[in-house]
Structures are given as C-alpha cells and as structure tokens.
Amino acid sequence: MSNIVYVKVLADSLQKKFTALESILNITKTQEELLQEEDFDEECFLETISSKQIYIDQITELDSGFEVIYNRVKQELDANRSLYSADITNMQKLIAKITELGIDIEALEKRNKAQMDKILEEKKRQFGGMRMNNSAASNYYRNMINQQYNQSYFLDKRK
C-alpha cells in the first residue's frame, strides 16, 4: 500500500474512535439517568456496562492498529509534511475532539461513580438491617425452643 492510503487509514481510524467515544458518552449519560431514578434498575444498568465494554474493546483495537500504521508512515509524514498537511490538520482536529470527548466521559464517569457509591451504601444499610432482623428472629426462635425444653413434662402428662 502507498503511504497516502496509510494516512487515509489513520484518519479513518480516528473517525471510528470518535464515533465509538460518542457512543460511550451516550451510554454513560443513560447510566447517569438510571442512577438518578428512584427505583434503581440493576439489570438495565448491567446491560449498559456490557454495551459500553463492546465500544471500549473496539477503541482498544483501533488504538493498537493506529499505532502500528503510524509507526509505518511516521518517517514519511515527517519528511513530507507539506504533502500531507491537509490530512495532518484533519487528524489533529479529530484528536482534539477525541480528547475533549474523553474529558467529558471522565467527568461524567466520576459523577456516576459518586452516585453509584451512594446507592451501594444504601443497599448495604438495607442488607445490614435485614441481617439484624434475621438475627433477632433467629435468637427469638432459639429462645422459644429452649423454653420448651425447660418446661415441666409432668404438667403435660396430667392433662
């Protein structure tokens, strides 16, 4: 392949990464909405995590492919900068957009993490209360059983 084709592949790879990051941002916004709901839907939230992972894997693959191709054409790009100036400018703009999207996603993820921590803390309190209730019920039944063993058998036999 000629170097111009490699440069086009680099630009295409960046565009695909940008699109995948937009999808991740949309999914993260959906997660934010789910976390804000009064009745947290755990199943739906887990589905968003799975779909987000697909895009993360895609980005990882794109990044590794980008690196391989960039290493192939790096010297050519440096040597003939003027020949590829339009493509380089386009890629720089895409990289700036990608960076901006990454920052937006990171900020939203931090907010979501804080909200998720609150939800988990509430669930932990609920389970702690259930554990105390179960413990109290267990102690009650244990005491009732022990009281039955301590009762006089003679009273029962006389009836």
In tens, the pLDDT along 93-106 reads: 999 999 999 999 99
- pLDDT interval class at 61 (50, 70, 90): very high
Average pLDDT score, the chain: 85
The pLDDT of residue 64 is above 70:
yes
Q: How far apart are CA 110 and CA 8, in angstroms?
A: 35
Residue 121 has a pLDDT of: 86
The more confident residue out of 2 and 63 is 63
The more confident residue out of 25 and 148 is 25
The pLDDT of residue 142 is above 80:
no
Judge residue 3's burial from the number of C-beta atoms within 10 Å of its C-beta, 0-12 exposed, 13-18 middle, 19 or more buried: middle
What domains does the chain contain, in order, with CATH numbers?
A: 3-115 (1.20.58.70)
Which of 96-100, 139-143, 155-159 is least confident?
155-159
Q: Can you tell me the mean pLDDT for 41-56?
A: 92
Residue 38 has a pLDDT of: 85
The more confident residue out of 120 and 13 is 13
The pLDDT of residue 149 is above 90:
no
Here the tokens at position 76 are 């050519």
Taking the model in full, what pTM does it have? 0.76
Judge residue 118's burial from the number of C-beta atoms within 10 Å of its C-beta, 0-12 exposed, 13-18 middle, 19 or more buried: exposed
Residue 1 has a pLDDT of: 60
Q: Can you tell me the mean pLDDT for 64-91?
A: 91
